[in-house]
């Protein structure tokens, strides 16, 4: 697992199984509260047949989010 630092959170992508199908999710862990972890589905209502496909999509989405943050997506002008 590759964990990315995006300011107040660490993020990574993983697959999450629900009733035999898989979601691609980005997991966010708050830096100041190590118990605060949230999961966010990468694409609403998109399901994968294998955990590998979901995990790949999730890792790519986490990398894209990290890149956007690095390029200033969260900066307030």
**Per-residue model confidence as pLDDT tens digits over 30-56:** 998 878 899 999 988 899 999 999 999
What secondary structure letter does DSSP report for 59?
Answer: H
Cα–Cα distance measured from residue 43 to residue 61, given in angstroms and rounded to the nearest whole number: 9
Say whether pLDDT at 11 is over 90. Answer: yes
> Is residue 77 very low, low, confident or very high in pLDDT (cuts 50, 70, 90)?
low
Asked whether the beta carbons of 13 and 55 are under 8 A apart, the reply is yes
CA atoms of 24 and 46, how far apart (whole Å): 8
Per-residue model confidence (pLDDT) at position 50? 95
Domain boundaries, the chain: 4-70
The pair of three-digit structure tokens given for residue 54, joined into one six-digit string: 């979901």
Is 69 in a helix, a strand, or coil?
helix
- pTM equals 0.84
């Amino acid at each position: 697992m590759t964990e990315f630092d995006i300011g107040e959170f660490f993020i990574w992508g993983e697959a999450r199984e629900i009733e035999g199908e898989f979601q691609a999710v980005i997991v966010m862990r708050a830096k100041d509260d190590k118990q605060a972890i949230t999961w966010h589905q990468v694409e609403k209502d998109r399901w994968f047949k294998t955990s590998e496909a979901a995990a790949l999509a999730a890792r790519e989405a986490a990398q894209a989010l990290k890149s956007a943050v690095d390029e200033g997506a969260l900066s307030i002008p």
